[in-house]
């Protein structure tokens, strides 16, 4: 079966890769549990809708009717179900250890995000601190933290445990918040997460880290179950609980990949996560320098995905419903995420290639944003509304 794949895909996959690997029992269970939970949450929304619905009014709202925003429950249940269904044999012990750390350490991020979903009263600062606490808890459970960035001086600082743990917590909180920032259209965050998990999993598989590779596969199964209900019609949303839990999970895998495999540079993880990270960093920059009187932390409706909806989805599909246009926005951004993740698959063995790909993806993002916002490929420092 492997020989029938396209030549480019064969090159990207491990030489002894088998398609059967993606049909693992625990990953299928994770998908099924997540999918069924989503359906149950949608079908019972009249019972819990008073506190679980996401309003359709607000500067960043693009959906047309109130929708349950507690899809994070389904993803968490999916990961737990997959973990419970995993083999208890010695060979699977390391994978179960990774999954148990994700489930336990991810609880602060998930719980405080879910509290915001149902109460609308948990501040961004509290949620960010909760995700950072998840990063510290992850270190406490596993003893793992970022110890190198392949930068002279910085690596020396990271050799001190306190600095290493604090930096890891900051990085985890940053990635989790970035995942929450891009959660604006049906399927955008889930689809992007699936692409990122695929890249992490394939690289881990290529270097022989099977426990981490199969962890990525199981988490991807849980995300896929949610994705089937979320895209394209948006019957359920991820919510802050789901975005922060999924963001923590991706960030923790990004930490584990270079720490468990010394031949892989941490820049590879940054390249895989570059789309959401670039989105949040650039959002702060443009609010500070391109929008007069607009605080850097205040939400707005001029993210790259919002502009893609206005300039591309609505114009290419003018007769489609708003819900359909919503769902058709995400593939444009999946293409961008796929660019950086595909580059990581080819460049992870070379720091120089990885950094070059990272610079290229950053330049591509800025050019795309400039074209959509100002109708020119090279950005101009001008105020806009």
> Is residue 10 pLDDT above 50, yes or no?
no
Percent of the chain whose pLDDT exceeds 70: 86
What average pLDDT does range 224-245 have in this prediction? Answer: 96
- Listed in sequence order, the residues at least 6 apart from 52 whose beta carbon sits closer than 8 Å to its beta carbon are 41, 45, 68, 69, 70, 117, 118
Q: What is the pTM of this model?
A: 0.91
Return the residue matching tokens 């995905």.
305
Instruction: State both tokens at 89.
Output: 């044999």
Q: Is 53 helix (H, G, I), strand (E, B) or coil?
A: strand
> Is residue 383 pLDDT above 70, yes or no?
no
- Lowest mean pLDDT segment, chosen from 59-63, 124-128, 172-176, 212-216: 59-63
Percent of the chain whose pLDDT exceeds 90: 76
Residue 81 burial class via C-beta count within 10 angstroms: exposed 0-12, middle 13-18, buried 19 and up: buried
> Is residue 251 pLDDT above 50, yes or no?
yes
Q: Is 350 helix (H, G, I), strand (E, B) or coil?
A: coil
> Is residue 307 pLDDT above 60, yes or no?
yes
Rounded Cα distance, 361 and 296, in Å: 23
Q: Is 299 helix (H, G, I), strand (E, B) or coil?
A: coil
Per-residue buried b or exposed e for 19-51, using 16+ beta carbons within 10 Å of the residue's own CB = eebeebebbbbbbbbbbbbbbebeeebeeeeee
Of residues 23 and 382, more confidence is placed in 23
> What's the pLDDT score for residue 5?
46
């Amino acid at each position: 079966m492997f020989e029938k794949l396209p030549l480019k895909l064969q090159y990207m996959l491990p030489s002894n890769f088998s398609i059967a690997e993606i049909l693992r029992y625990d990953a299928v269970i994770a998908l099924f549990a997540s999918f069924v939970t989503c359906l149950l949450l949608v079908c019972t929304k009249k019972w819990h809708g008073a506190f679980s619905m996401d309003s359709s009014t607000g500067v960043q709202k693009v959906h047309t009717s109130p929708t349950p925003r507690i899809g994070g429950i389904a993803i968490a249940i999916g990961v737990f179900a997959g973990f419970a269904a995993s083999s208890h044999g010695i060979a699977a012990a390391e994978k179960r250890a990774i999954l148990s750390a994700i489930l336990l350490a991810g609880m602060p991020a998930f719980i405080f995000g879910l509290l915001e979903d149902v109460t609308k009263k948990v501040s961004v600062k509290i949620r960010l601190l909760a995700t950072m606490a998840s990063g510290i808890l992850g270190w406490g459970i596993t003893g793992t933290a970022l110890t190198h960035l392949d930068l002279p001086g910085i690596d020396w600082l990271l050799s001190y445990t306190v600095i290493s743990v604090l930096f890891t917590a900051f990085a985890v909180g940053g990635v989790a918040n970035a995942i929450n920032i891009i959660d604006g259209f049906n399927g955008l965050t889930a689809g992007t997460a699936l692409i990122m998990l695929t890249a992490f999993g394939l690289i881990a598989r290529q270097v022989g880290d099977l426990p981490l590779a199969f962890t990525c596969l199981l988490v991807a199964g849980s995300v896929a179950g949610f994705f089937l209900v979320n895209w394209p019609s948006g019957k359920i949303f991820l919510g802050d609980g789901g975005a922060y839990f999924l963001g923590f999970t991706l960030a923790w895998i990004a930490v584990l990949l270079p720490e468990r495999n010394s031949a892989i540079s941490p820049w590879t993880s940054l390249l895989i996560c570059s789309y959401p990270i670039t989105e949040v960093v650039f959002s702060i920059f443009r609010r500070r320098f391109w929008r007069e009187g607009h605080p850097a932390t205040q939400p707005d409706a001029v993210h790259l995905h919002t502009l893609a909806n206005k300039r591309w989805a609505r114009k290419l599909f003018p007769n489609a419903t708003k819900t359909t246009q919503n769902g058709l926005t995400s593939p444009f951004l999946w293409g961008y995420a796929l660019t950086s993740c595909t580059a990581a698959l080819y460049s992870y063995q070379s720091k120089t290639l990885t950094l070059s790909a990272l610079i290229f993806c950053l330049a591509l993002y800025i050019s795309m944003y400039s074209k959509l916002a100002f109708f020119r490929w090279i950005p101009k420092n001008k105020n806009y509304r």
